[in-house]
Every structure is written in C-alpha cells, then in structure tokens.
Chains A and B, each alone.
Chain A
Amino acid sequence: DAGVIQSPRHEVTEMGQEVTLRCKPISGHDYLFWYRQTMMRGLELLIYFNNNVPIDDSGMPEDRFSAKMPNASFSTLKIQPSEPRDSAVYFCASTRDLPSYEQYFGPGTRLTVT
C-alpha cells in the first residue's frame, strides 16, 4: 500500500487567499483525521471522519476552516480566507475500525501564510 498521501507537501500563500489541502487515506481505512501541528500548540486534532461522515469537528478553530470527505478515498481541508496564524504543518491520518489499530500519518503539508 502507498500509505496516506497528502498534497501539496508545501504551500506558500498570501493572507486572504484560499488554501485547499488534500488527503488520500489508506484503502480500507474507515477513519480519517486532520491534525495541525505548531510549536506553540503541539499536535491538535481538527476533525475526524468515519465512513466519510464528520464525527467530531470540535477542534476546527473557526469558520474559516472547513473539511469534506466526498468519498472513501479523498478528503480536503480548506481555509478561506487564510491568515498568517494558520501557518503550520497539517497532517492527515487514517486508521481501521479497531480500537487497538494505530493511525497511519501522511507526510504532512507545510503551510506558510505571508
């Protein structure tokens, strides 16, 4: 298996622009997670999906952030409009429907908003 795939790996954008991050989970995994990692706040869970349905979005910082999972093999995280404080590494992870099963993380997208 190719693992969790994220694109782009790096994104530099100007404040106010729309940013879309993409994720392809591992085939057969029922759960998909979006995390944000910063030096100040560490690794934060933003939202997670089960069978393409959002289960918990309590970590989404504000209305500028939105996430979708139109099918089992694709998810997006959108920021509109972006702000400098959104600069972070965004990870996507997926796992199977087993409590003991570890999450497999993608390589992350490093977002810089200037």
Chain B
Amino acid sequence: AQKITQTQPGMFVQEKEAVTLDCTYDTSDPSYGLFWYKQPSSGEMIFLIYQGSYDQQNATEGRYSLNFQKARKSANLVISASQLGDSAMYFCAMRAITGGFKTIFGAGTRLFVKA
C-alpha cells in the first residue's frame, strides 16, 4: 500500500532562517513522483515542487528545494530564507505509476514564520 507520512503537525521558524519539513513515503512501485503543495489560510492549494523517482538531482524551485533520499524513502522540503508569507499548511504528496494518476497526500505540516 502507498502511504505518505508527515510527522510534524506544526513548525516554527524565525524569519530569514531556513526550515525543513519532513516527509516519508512508502511504495513498492519503482516509478513514482513526489510533490509539495502549500495551502495558505485563504485555502487554495499551490503547487511548489516536484521530484521524480528517477531524477538524479534534487529538485529546486527558487527558495524551495527537495531533499530526496531514495533509500530512506524521504522527500523533505527545505525552505530557505523564510518569509512571513510562508506561514501556511504544507502537504507532501505522491503519485505512483501503478496507481494510475491517483495522488495521495500526507496530513500536512503547519508552518509558522516569526518576525
């Protein structure tokens, strides 16, 4: 069975510092994709970053990077130079090829950025 685990219900970070949000996953499928989404208090879901299971390098998108450790089945999101606007809920998600396009989401981590 496929599963996404986010063990940090809430995280605090000081503005301008970096923060790592943890995500572990479980799948027996060799081909899969990992996604991170941001959900601010306004409620919309915003795509942040994608990592494919066969990608050799960690994905980066601006201040976001994904620390992909395949052997440990972890896909942690790193936000550098945190901003007040980064305060939101963050979801890790996975799509495995054998699951078609079914995407499963973790429970989320709420990030609070302090001024």
The interface of chain A, by Cβ under 8 A from chain B, is: 31, 33, 42-43, 45, 48, 50, 55-56, 89, 91, 93, 95, 99-100, 102-105, 107-108, 110
Please determine whether A102 and B91 come into contact, CB atoms closer than 8 angstroms.
no
Task: Tell me the interface secondary structure of chain A in the complex.
Answer: strand
The interface of chain B, by Cβ under 8 A from chain A, is: 31, 33, 35, 37, 43-45, 47, 50, 52, 91, 95, 97, 100-108
Q: Give Cα distance in the complex from A37 to B101, angstroms.
A: 19
Please determine whether A108 and B103 come into contact, CB atoms closer than 8 angstroms.
no
Please determine whether A104 and B47 come into contact, CB atoms closer than 8 angstroms.
yes
Q: Give Cα distance in the complex from A110 to B43, angstroms.
A: 10
Q: Which A residues lie within 8 Å of B52 (CB)?
A: 99-100
Please determine whether B33 and A56 come into contact, CB atoms closer than 8 angstroms.
no
Please determine whether B35 and A102 come into contact, CB atoms closer than 8 angstroms.
yes
Please determine whether B105 and A48 come into contact, CB atoms closer than 8 angstroms.
no
Determine which of B31, B33, B45, B104 lies in contact with A93 in the assembled complex, contact meaning CB atoms within 8 Å.
B45
- Min distance, Cβ B72 to any Cβ of chain A, angstroms: 22
Measured CB to CB, the nearest residue on chain A to B91 is A43
